Amino acid sequence: MADITDIKAIMYTEKSIELQEDGIIVVQTSPRMTKNGLKEVFREFFGINPLRVNSLRVNGKVKMFKGKAGKRPDLKKFYVLLPEDAKLESLAV
């Protein structure tokens, strides 16, 4: 079962801010989150029924740090299309 703690952040990049103008928000979650789980979280905690949810899995890069290999964490991004009248309080400016 999905939980609100699986949502790590709402992404604020140049591309995601342009998408917000079209009613699409980009959410970063843990890799175990599913589309149906994210819809359930939006209904339960935000009171919004998303129109469409697209997912993107991002594998963490292997990077060198002080001569030792380290790995960035894996994550999952979701592109969530909200209804036109819906607003998230965290997005209100």
- pLDDT surpassing 80 at residue 58: yes
Domains and CATH numbers, the chain: 4-86 (3.30.70.330)
Q: What are phi and psi of 45, to 5 degrees?
A: -95, -30
Q: Kindly state the average pLDDT of the residues 44-64.
A: 93
How confident is the model over 6-18, as pLDDT tens digits?
Answer: 889 999 999 999 9
* Strand arrangement, sheet containing 7-10: 7-10, 24-29, 75-81, 52-58
CA distance 86 to 60: 33
Q: The tokens of 15 are what?
A: 């591309």
- pLDDT surpassing 80 at residue 79: yes
